Structure 1
């Protein structure tokens, strides 16, 4: 059985300068191998202490039991603010609570059923595009990025990726991805809030262009809401939701911030997850054949088909375990604490790493292996409750988690219904973390029509 690839780990001890350099290049290979076994590890810098935690009850305390005592750290967000502004991904406290009160209703209950036709159309379009590459070796991350962006624009603004504004956002975002490291210098050196942050010129330029394009879309939608011609999609739902506490809706600027994170989170993470899932199918053809057989049930746009795609859901969950799109989450201690006999000072960084937690040797059976059947074992079910965080957990769980668990299995099944993907022996992907977990040199697969 082929083991899915993972990056090499660094030696246990390196200088702070070397660690910072490795971290900016790729946060996965910058970590020592002992983190796949440790319950907790401490990292010291001249400016602050950082603690990586894998022990399930500690993670539960931070994310679920006492989230107000461990707000989101500003350090990771520093590098993303030119694009995301004051979005729900970066805020804390009352601002964050207000944003979630307005956003969450758009993703509740029957809204998934309402958005399903748009997902279906995006899946059909993805299959049609892949059909033009039949017999070729394809960089599959580019294809899944295209498909995921199409889903976002269809469900959010009722426009396909071929719409000129959607295409311009998508194209500019590719430039932003190449220019934006996951960390800004403020992640390592605490800077006063009044001191201007330093960003690469092309990063600032791309972020500004993306935000201007999103502003155009947002203003157009606000005008249509005002004159009663707006379609009933996610953007309309969010922009017309009144905060039950202050009685206000989002301003244009606030909505631009939220659309930016919807595109980043909904497009970038889904693209990553789908690409790795297709690679795992290429390297595990017996599972690919089973999914292709199951996928024959996809013939009409009917939300009930999702209840029939059980194997696809298990496979997608396993891909999210092995390659969680968001590899690390950082919280900050707002009060003194003691974890595992360590005194945690105010301002300390608490790192929860789905990448290490999902492959933890003391928690999971066969942690590095690909085994979608694990979700039906006692160990798998226990770990799914305690050690599985592809969408975070607790109050800050991703509001689009249910959305992603429809989108991923649907597009995966739709593609495998018509196509077989085959691995290229000379191009084994190496996972690296930039904005999400991607492959260092792309994921190359041969596409063959069934």
Structure 2
């Protein structure tokens, strides 16, 4: 019996020149890494300008992300490429600024809010199914459809408008332009540059970012006026814009809210689209699991939030897709003081890389690390690794505030789509994972779509 493994990018040789490494890194950070990182507890990389250390040992990751997060703030080097779009958003800030932002944002994503956002999320899922119905049977690039669905979820839950709304549609279109023009890393990630020096962005990157921010500014100003008039809908944007920092008593200014909306769209749309697309591909690659999901989806009958508790297989499959294809493949922190990890002394200013991509496939932690096995979450090894080696939304104080949101959105969309349609892989069209803003396929994910006869 032939064992089919989900695709992963080829690893580079252990030794390459710095120039070759930088070139590979800017094109795709996954294939720029050597195979040995799937077994290493820690690895060092040296350049003339900085030292970088990847840590895969769970205890070290806990030290950096959970026990002492203030001693390992986000690296400014890595944020340079995203600054034109995200400004001073919660994704990029550190210290007191970040803590203030999270005090305002977190209440909007507390557990009880999921039930309140459910109708909008469900409506977006129904709209996604309708768009697929309109396409009919045939070949489809599923990343594009997943992006459309995820963007619709974000706009419906954040601003109570569907993706067909003029401004929402414009943001979605401009974001695709931004994504295509923006590499995962700017040159400033590799070479120390003073703040006044130009960052050498690609030609269209800054324009696309400005266009997106202008559109979001219009939505934010309009919502502020609705809040003042008492006519604002009770959605995530209203919740966040009316929440005062319990320490200072201040709310977000318009510019601050634009920064946050930009990261909500990036994090909530781009990452969700990546996860959904890879999950649908895996369901096509393993049709037995696709059939199980379709059967389980019959529990979705009246659109009630309580039905989510019945989608247990869907959650297991979605979680396994997040393990194999974590949307954010690497997180970079920076040391503030001298450290000693394993047998290495680490100087202040060094980069500490936590890689969900390598951690989730680590050969010394996981049983069958490269295989697709949704049942693993009920095994002893799977439960242990879920506690200490599964961080698709990061972990510790900087865990993504929308993690619970994503774990409802993904299984819901997956179930509603597979309830109505079945997918098959396309011969000679195996997707190759690459890291852009998130883990996407090099040339898209192509599947054959067919309406399910028992739908």
TM-score category (smaller protein): over 0.9
Once the two structures are TM-superposed, the CA of residue 190 in structure 1 deviates from its matched residue by: 1.1
Q: Is the 8 A contact 2:66 2:397 kept in 1?
A: yes
The residue aligned with 1:404 is 406
Match of residue 431, structure 1, among 419, 430, 433 = 433
Three-state SS of the structure 2 residue aligned to 1:21 is helix
Q: Is the 8 A contact 1:324 1:355 kept in 2?
A: yes
The residue aligned with 1:2 is 4
Three-state SS of the structure 1 residue aligned to 2:111 is coil
Matched, 1:130 2:132: yes
Once the two structures are TM-superposed, the CA of residue 135 in structure 1 deviates from its matched residue by: 1.6
* Corresponding residue pairs, total: 450
List runs of 5+ in structure 1 lacking aligned partners: none
Residues of 1 paired with 2:141 and 2:322: CA distance? 20
| Alignment map for 1:227-238 (pairs within 5 Å) | 227-238=229-240
TM-score, length basis structure 1: 0.99
The residue aligned with 2:144 is 142
Residues of 2 paired with 1:155 and 1:63: CA distance? 29
The residue aligned with 2:171 is 169
The residue aligned with 2:417 is 415
Residues of 2 paired with 1:137 and 1:239: CA distance? 42
| Alignment map for 1:266-277 (pairs within 5 Å) | 266-277=268-279
Q: Is the 8 A contact 1:133 1:447 kept in 2?
A: no
Q: Is the 8 A contact 1:215 1:252 kept in 2?
A: yes
Once the two structures are TM-superposed, the CA of residue 133 in structure 1 deviates from its matched residue by: 2.2
Residues of 2 paired with 1:441 and 1:192: CA distance? 36
The residue aligned with 2:90 is 88
List runs of 5+ in structure 2 lacking aligned partners: none
Residues of 2 paired with 1:130 and 1:429: CA distance? 21
Residues of 1 paired with 2:335 and 2:151: CA distance? 35
The residue aligned with 1:72 is 74
Residues of 2 paired with 1:300 and 1:161: CA distance? 23
Matched, 1:119 2:121: yes
Residues of 1 paired with 2:341 and 2:136: CA distance? 54
Matched, 1:380 2:382: yes
Residues of 2 paired with 1:60 and 1:134: CA distance? 48
| Alignment map for 1:46-445 (pairs within 5 Å) | 46-445=48-447
Residues of 1 paired with 2:427 and 2:203: CA distance? 38
Residues of 1 paired with 2:302 and 2:148: CA distance? 23
The residue aligned with 2:34 is 32
Once the two structures are TM-superposed, the CA of residue 132 in structure 1 deviates from its matched residue by: 1.8
Residues of 2 paired with 1:291 and 1:95: CA distance? 43
Q: Is the 8 A contact 2:111 2:404 kept in 1?
A: no
Q: Is the 8 A contact 1:72 1:332 kept in 2?
A: yes
C-alpha offsets along residues 109-145 of structure 1, whole Å, 9 cap, x if unaligned? 2100000000000000000111122221000000000
Which segment is superposed worse, 186-195 or 279-288?
A: 186-195
Three-state SS of the structure 2 residue aligned to 1:338 is strand
Residues of 1 paired with 2:337 and 2:312: CA distance? 44
Q: Is the 8 A contact 2:156 2:162 kept in 1?
A: yes
Residues of 1 paired with 2:418 and 2:111: CA distance? 29
Residues of 2 paired with 1:204 and 1:136: CA distance? 37
Q: Is the 8 A contact 1:76 1:183 kept in 2?
A: yes
Three-state SS of the structure 1 residue aligned to 2:447 is strand
Once the two structures are TM-superposed, the CA of residue 316 in structure 1 deviates from its matched residue by: 0.2
Runs of 4+ with >4 A deviation: none
Q: Is the 8 A contact 2:43 2:54 kept in 1?
A: yes
Residues of 1 paired with 2:301 and 2:183: CA distance? 42
Three-state SS of the structure 2 residue aligned to 1:446 is strand
Q: Is the 8 A contact 2:217 2:258 kept in 1?
A: yes
Residues of 1 paired with 2:261 and 2:70: CA distance? 25
